[in-house]
Structure 1
Amino acid sequence: MFQKFYPDEDVNSTYEIPFEDFYKKGIRGIIFDIDNTLVPHGAPADNRAKKMFLRLHELGMETCLLSNNKEPRVSAFAKDAGSLNYIFKGRKPGVEGYQRAMKLMGTNSSNTIFVGDQLFTDVFGAKRAGIYSILVSRIHPKEEIQIRIKRALESVVLYYYRKNKKMKQLKRS
């Protein structure tokens, strides 16, 4: 019932993702959400984000920011983080933003991954676009009211996702 919202995997932090392993598997593009995925909501790019993007680009990965925020927020973050590709007002969970991001990066759904902190916008949109999705834990609890409401609903889906994930792991053992 909730599977359409399940990420392909989940991790605590964007900064724990083994991007080198994904590169070895043929992944060449990464689409990122910004707020609460890379930095706290509304924060500028920090040194950790800047270093990560530099590392990804040195590895040979293309990157693109995909956000539902307005241009001033997204363009400022992209500039601070290292002149990244970006899409503002991405209309997630619609697939158009994901498709535009892949076009900017010169990738496709088979060699692109998405990293975000929300199920109903980030993960659901990536799944609809046929992109491997990684859900990360939100960085900071401060969020806009509409996001806090969605978080309550997400907690129900996450309960079933984690229960399903645990059952699969037990079956493999």
Structure 2
Amino acid sequence: MFRCFFPDEYLESAYAVNYEKLYQEGVRGLLFDIDNTLVPHGAPADKRAVELFERLRKIGFKSCFLSNNQIQRVASFNEKIGERFIENAHKPAVRNYQKAMELLGTDCSNTVFIGDQLFTDIYGAKRAGIRNILVKPIHPKEEIQIVLKRYLERIVLYFYRKEEGTL
């Protein structure tokens, strides 16, 4: 019933992903949500985020931010990082997931999406045929519409963990 929302992986943090292993598996493109995936909602890129993308470039990855935020938010976050980005992405619509892969020169077979929301980030990646990793939100402070979605996410994650045998 809820399978269309189940992530391919569920990890503690975007900073806990084994990126070296992903690269060894043939992944070359990484798509990221920003708010509550890499930094708290509305926060600028911090030292940890900047260092992560320096590390990813050294490994050999191409990255793109895919955000439903407006250009001011995404561009200001990206100032210290310097990656490609798509703002106002209308996730979970598939079009901008595909556009991001075009920007990176990757496809569904060698791209992974990393985000913190099931009904936008993960559902959109699944609809686009992209491997995905759900991460726990960095900070509890969120906009009201996201807070409401989190209640529904808990239900889906209950069934996901039950199926995975991690309850």
Segments of 4+ in structure 1 off by > 3 A? none
After TM superposition, the structure 1 = structure 2 runs for residues 161-172 of structure 1, keeping only pairs within 5 Å, are 161-166=160-165
State the distance in 2 between where 1:55 and 1:6 align.
Answer: 28
Q: Distance in 1 between matches of 2:84 and 2:52?
A: 15
Residue matched to 2:11: 11
1:50 counterpart = 2:50: yes
Of the structure 1 ranges 91-100 and 158-167, higher mean CA displacement relative to structure 2 is found in 158-167
Distance in structure 1 (CA, Å) of the matches to 2:105 and 2:76: 23
Task: Tell me the equivalent position of 2:69.
Answer: 69
The residue identity in structure 2 corresponding to 1:137 is K
Q: Aligned letter for 2:138?
A: I
Which residue number corresponds to residue 128 of structure 2? 129
Q: Which ranges of structure 1 fall in alignment gaps of 5 or more residues?
A: 168-173
Partner of 2:153: 154
Q: Distance in 1 between matches of 2:43 and 2:77?
A: 8
Distance 1:83 1:17 in 2: 21
1:141 aligned partner, one-letter code: P
What is the aligned partner in structure 1 of residue 111 from structure 2? Answer: 112
**Residue 2 (1) aligns with residue 11 (2):** no
Q: Distance in 2 between matches of 1:29 and 1:134?
A: 13
Q: What is the CA-CA distance between 1:79 and the residue it aligns to?
A: 1.6
Letter in 2 for 1:2: F
Give the drift of 1:85: 0.3
SS at match of 1:110: helix
- Aligned 1:20-31 pairs, distance under 5 A: 20-31=20-31
How far 1:78 moved relative to its partner?
1.3
Give the 3-state SS of the residue equivalent to 1:73 in structure 2.
Answer: helix
**Counterpart in 2 of 1:91?**
90
Q: AA paired with 2:3? A: Q
**Helix, strand or coil for the counterpart of 1:30?**
strand
Residue equivalent to 1:79: 79
**Matched residue count:** 167
Q: Spell out, residue by residue over 1:118-166, the C-alpha distance to the aligned partner (whole angstroms, 9 max, x if none).
A: 0000000000000001000000000000000100111100000000000
Q: Deviation string for 1:79-124 (max 9, x for gaps)?
A: 22x2110000000000011001101111000000000000000000
Identity level (%): 56
